[in-house]
Amino acid sequence: MDMATAESQGSDWVRIFDTTLRDGEQSPGCTMNVEEKLALARQLERLNVDIIEAGFAASSEGDFESVNRVAQSVKGPLVLSLSRTRDEDVDRALKSVDKSTRPGIHIFIATSDIHLKYKLNMNREDVLDAATWAVTRAKKHLDYIEFSCEDASRSEWEYMAKVCAEVIRAGATVINLPDTTGHAIPEEYGRMFAYMREHVPGAGKVIWSAHCHNDLGLAVANSLAAIGNGARQIECTINGIGERAGNCSMEEVVMALKTRKDLMGIQTRVDTRQIYPSSRLLSQIIGQSVPANKPIVGDNAFAHEAGIHQDGVLKYKLTYEIMKPEDIGIPSNKLVLGKHSGRHAFINRLKELGVDTDAVDLNSAFAEFKALCDKKKVVYDDDILALVTEEARRTSDEIELVDMRCSSSSKETPHAVVTLRVNGEEHSADGEGDGMVDACYQAIYKIAGVHPALERYAVKAITGGTDALGEVSCLVRDNGMTVAGQGAHSDIVMASALALVNALNRLKSRKEAPLKPTTDVP
Ligand code: KIV
Ligand code: ZN
């Protein structure tokens, strides 16, 4: 009996299908380059997710390359590419994963009347044929085929059951029923799974999967309802990123299952101690900090402010804590290393924090760490993580910040002189602005020869104190393309310059590998 069959017959294991690199990456400001996707995929491997959806190979050259590189690099989890039911999509998806040790393809087409009529301009028979045809074609080359009925939660059940039956007959091994628009409520979404498992011929041969969007804040609740009705795969993203209000949050659904195993009796294979490092890594890469009140990984998730709570926790932690921070891999944020720490201790700490030390220039990172120790009295885990991510960012950039001088006084307009290295050549320019950051940005725009709109700019002190590392994230838009940039430094103006340079590098690489228009991308 293969894994799929065994699991569909009442096992208490649920698979975690991570779509951070596909559905997550699709949301504005969350784009990642190939190196960043690889770093995240390696972290997903450490997290021990079962499946990684690495991208949508046919959507762009960049996506094809990312899926292909992730497929070659990742050994544990299955690696999938998304695909529409078109022949060129299926072929691209198959090719993108052909070097994987555990390849798979994820084919989808909408089954709701509203999508058929207004988006696809197809009738029900056409959709049934397209779905069966695409699965049959893929099955000739690959065994592992997931099929999704897009907008399942607004589809007519009887018709959808027919589509599911046909694609199972054609060789699909997993059937996903997405709540594409985040419209379902738990009881209703659960009932849909119960109905399909009862009415679809061959239902017992496949894994049933839930894929929920969070428009009504119900993605995790809906996913749990699906599990309660026989689903054995959950599609989710780190920090819940994704289209609109996001996808089901990996950390929330995994910890809900772990914490309430007494009630649900379901387990995942996720190494929960890698949850926090995964959340931090993603947030560093896309430059979107996690809200403080976000369950599981937010800064306040384990903070107790009220006197009664503090008193209770001091007497016995479980009075107010239902999970242990150490189970999620949350560093205690105490002083970890200082100026007398050696290289060995530094590398060890990086490993404990979930950093892939093979992907980091350790000499340079250690030198930066020592420089930080000279500037800061105490160096926290988060400082170290920010520093290493900053280091990785710079080594892959074509535009580098070489020098920056700024002056500001209450009587003069702020002025900056910036030197950048662009493709190995140094260029300097000066700029004036409303403040030092603005002056510095004007100088950078002059050298780079672009002037994108600055849509968002945010500063965050990573750890406490006036000597803390500052983390700046910005979102810039040029020619219809939006990219995020991040920078970390103990000087806020410097961190701002690094963030803009990072965004310009991304903008440059996106322009070199533009997205093909894909009007019906889910
Ligand atoms: O939300 C959705 O329907 C999707 C499918 C492609 C699975 O992302
Ligand atoms: Zn989705």
**Average pLDDT, stretch 23-43?**
88
Q: Of the bound ligands, which one is closest to the alpha carbon of residue 518?
A: 1
Cα–Cα distance, 309 to 322 (Å, whole number): 13
**Average pLDDT, stretch 354-373?**
84
Looking from the CA of residue 247, the nearest atom of ligand 1 is 1
114-118, 360-364, 477-481, 506-510: the lowest-pLDDT one = 506-510
For the whole model, what pTM was predicted? 0.79
What pLDDT was estimated at residue 515?
A: 40
What pLDDT was estimated at residue 464?
A: 59
Residue 248 Cα to ligand 2 middle (Å): 9
Q: Token pair of 518, please?
A: 């894909």
**Domain 3-286 matches domain 397-512 at the CATH topology level:** no
**Average pLDDT, stretch 473-499?**
84
3-state secondary structure of 220: helix
What pLDDT was estimated at residue 232?
A: 98
If phi > 0 it is left, if psi is from -120 to 50 it is alpha, else beta; for residue 515 that is beta
185 has pLDDT over 90: yes
- Give the pairing type, strands 470-478 and 453-461: antiparallel
Looking from the CA of residue 243, the nearest atom of ligand 1 is 1
Select, from the ranges 21-35, 141-155, 473-487, the one with the highest average predicted confidence (pLDDT): 141-155
Using alpha carbons, select from 249, 252, 233 the residue that is nearest to residue 241: 249
172 has pLDDT over 60: yes
The long-range contacts involving 489-495, CB below 8 angstroms and separated by at least 24 positions, are 489/390, 490/372, 490/375, 490/376, 492/437, 492/459, 493/404, 493/406, 493/436, 493/437, 493/440, 494/401, 494/404, 495/459, 495/469, 495/470, 495/471
If phi > 0 it is left, if psi is from -120 to 50 it is alpha, else beta; for residue 230 that is left
What pLDDT was estimated at residue 376?
A: 67
What pLDDT was estimated at residue 157?
A: 98
pLDDT digits (tens, 9 = 90+) for 59-80: 999 999 999 999 999 999 999 9
The topology (CATH level 3) of 3-286 is: TIM Barrel (3.20.20)
159-173, 365-379, 415-429: the lowest-pLDDT one = 365-379
Whose tokens are 């080594």? That residue is 395
Strand partners, 179: 212
Reported as type and span, the H/E element at residue 144 is none
Order of strands across the sheet with 470-478? 453-461, 470-478, 481-489
Cα–Cα distance, 341 to 214 (Å, whole number): 45
Spatial contact of 246 and 236, defined as CB atoms under 8 Å apart: no
120 has pLDDT over 80: yes
Q: Assign 127 a pLDDT band (cuts: 50, 70, 90).
A: very high
Q: Token pair of 433, please?
A: 């602005």
One-letter amino acid identity for 198?
E
Q: Token pair of 407, please?
A: 């002056």
**Average pLDDT, stretch 265-281?**
94
What pLDDT was estimated at residue 377?
A: 61
What residue ranges do the domains of the chain occupy? 3-286, 307-394, 397-512
Using alpha carbons, select from 215, 386, 395, 404 the residue that is nearest to residue 287: 386
Contacting residues for 101 by C-beta, under 8 A, at least 6 apart:
75
3 has pLDDT over 50: no
What pLDDT was estimated at residue 392?
A: 61
For atom 2 of ligand 1, the residue with the nearest CA is: 180
> Going along 479-516, which residue ranges are E strands?
481-489
Q: Token pair of 365, please?
A: 């990172």
Q: Token pair of 169, please?
A: 């007959």
For atom 6 of ligand 1, the residue with the nearest CA is: 522
For the chain, give the percent of residues with pLDDT over 70.
89
Contacting residues for 344 by C-beta, under 8 A, at least 6 apart:
none
pLDDT digits (tens, 9 = 90+) for 437-463: 999 999 999 999 999 999 888 887 766
Looking from the CA of residue 19, the nearest atom of ligand 1 is 8
Q: Which residues line ligand 1 (CB under 6 A)?
A: 23, 108, 148, 150, 176, 178, 180, 211, 213, 522
114 has pLDDT over 80: yes
Looking from the CA of residue 108, the nearest atom of ligand 1 is 6
Give the dihedral of Cα atoms 179, 182, 186, 191; nearest 10 deg: -30
Spatial contact of 109 and 69, defined as CB atoms under 8 Å apart: no
Q: Assign 398 a pLDDT band (cuts: 50, 70, 90).
A: confident
For atom 5 of ligand 1, the residue with the nearest CA is: 150
CATH of region 397-512: 3.30.160.270
287 has pLDDT over 80: no
pLDDT digits (tens, 9 = 90+) for 146-159: 999 999 999 999 99
